[in-house]
Structures are given as C-alpha cells and as structure tokens.
Amino acid sequence: MSIIDLLPSETPIKAFPPGEVVFTQGDPGGVMFVVIEGEIDVLLDGKLIETVRSGSVFGEMALIDACPRSATAISRTRCLLSPIDEMRFQDLIVREPEFALMVMRILARRLRRMDVAH
Amino acid sequence: MSIIDLLPSETPIKAFPPGEVVFTQGDPGGVMFVVIEGEIDVLLDGKLIETVRSGSVFGEMALIDACPRSATAISRTRCLLSPIDEMRFQDLIVREPEFALMVMRILARRLRRMDVAH
C-alpha cells in the first residue's frame, strides 16, 4: 500500500510542467505534497539532496513544525501533486493512522540518510 | 501539553541510574522511550548529538522503520523512562492523533538540525 491509496477521492491534484519551482527554501510552509506522478528534486542550498518519486511526500517538515521551508523543490519531470494543508493532514492522521506511520517512516529514512552523511 | 500527558495511566515506567546504556548503536530496535524525568545523551559514533529531556522521546527511529539503532543512548542523570513498543505506539497513534503529530515534530526538528550541520 502507498500513501496515494490513503488519500480520499476528493483530494485535489495539481499538474506541474518540468522545471517548475514548487516552493523555495525560506518560503513560509503550510502545505505538504504527495507525489502522484513524476519526480521532484529537493535542493538544500542549491545542492540536490533527494529526488522524490510517486508514492512519497515532500514539504512535510514546514507543515509539521510551522517553520519556513528547509529546502527548495523543483519538478524534474511533468508532475501530478496532491497538496495537503494542515486541516487535511490532521484529518488524514485521524482517519488513517497508517498515513501518520508512513510520513514518520519517510522522516526517519531522511534522518538516517543525514546521519550517514553527517 | 506534552507527550507525557498523552500516555495512558497504565503505561510502564523504568528507572535508570546515571551512566547506564539504554541501547547501543547497531542493536535491534523495537522500542522507543518517552523521557518522564531526567536527561538522556544520544551519541552517534561516540559523538554527543543530542541531550533528550523530560517530555521528549528517543529511539523512535528504530521503532518506526524497523532498522537497527542509529545511535547509542546513555542516561546522563537518574532517569524515569516509559518504553513504548510497536503495539503501544500504534495504539497511541489511533487513540491520540496528537501523539503522532508530536513525534513527527520531534523528527522534523532533528532533521532540520541535521540539515544545518550538513
């Protein structure tokens, strides 16, 4: 099962052409994105740190802790993204506890990768 | 509100004297800990990366992604810790969605710190 399967059917979906900036490091947060289709490059200080693919999420940190964007996200290919704002996020956690676990797993995997790079 | 307030009253609590190893980097995971009282030092390859205090958690990564311990945890002072195994963890997420958000906030804060150190 993927995060995509947990999204309610009324979830909005936005299309992005390749090379479009989804958000920029330092921007205010408030929304995370589920990648439905395509690939997103995540850059920290201009350096590529991760390419996020279908079934994963990005931008969750600024949503969770209400701090500015810690990185920049740019579409590498044409993308379909589902934006999840705070209300939708909290609603998903209550309705689908598995969603919370999946987001935690993604955060833990990113932390491990940072630890290794550290 | 702190994570401690969300723990059910029947939650077990273990006491640790100062200087006791709670777990060692590379150990199998399976349990995270809520710090009820005291301070825990978290070491990565022998280097102190964080001191975890009352109301926060540690050891959550190996619980969430079922990988070996990414760091070593040693009590800096006398500690009271509440061990949370996977069943209890999933149960808490379902019963107290705020618990999931708090754990995510802790993971996000750690990731931001790693990003900065990166």
DSSP state of B112: H
Whether B59 and B73 have beta carbons less than 8 Å apart is answered as: yes
- Residue B19 to residue B24: CA distance in whole angstroms: 13
Has residue A46 got a pLDDT over 80?
yes
Task: With a cut of 80, say whether residue A118 has pLDDT above it.
Answer: no
Give the gap in angstroms from C-alpha A96 to the nearest C-alpha of chain B: 8
Query: What is the least distance, in Å, from the CA of A68 to any CA of chain B?
Result: 11
CA-based torsion, A84, A90, A94, A100: positive or negative = positive
Q: How far is B48 from chain A (nearest CA, A)?
A: 13
Residue A116 pLDDT exceeds 60: no
Residue B117 has what pLDDT? 52
Token output for B66? 């079922």
ipTM of the complex: 0.81
pLDDT digits (tens, 9 = 90+) for B58-116: 999 888 988 899 999 999 999 999 999 999 999 999 899 899 999 999 988 888 887 65
The candidate with the shortest Cα–Cα distance to B55, out of B107, B6, B17, is B6
B71 touches chain A (CB under 8 A): yes
Tell which phi-psi region holds residue B94, choosing left (phi > 0), alpha (psi between -120 and 50) or beta. Answer: alpha
- Over residues A50-60, the pLDDT tens digits come to 999 999 999 99
CB pairs under 8 A between A and B: 84
Kindly list the structural domains of chain A, giving each domain's residue range(s) and its CATH number in brackets, ordered by start: 3-112 (2.60.120.10)
> What pLDDT, on the 0 to 100 scale, is given for residue B118?
43
Q: What is the pLDDT of residues B23-58, one digit of tens each?
A: 999 999 989 999 999 999 999 999 999 999 999 999
Average pLDDT over residues A18-32: 95
In a mutational test of the A interface, the residue from B43, B47, B65 whose CB has the highest number of chain A CBs within 10 Å is: B65
**Residue B104 and residue A70: Cβ atoms within 8 Å?**
no
Tell me which residue has tokens 């804060």: B109
Minimum CA–CA partner of B104 in chain A: A104
Express each pLDDT in B7-27 by its tens digit: 988 889 999 999 999 999 999
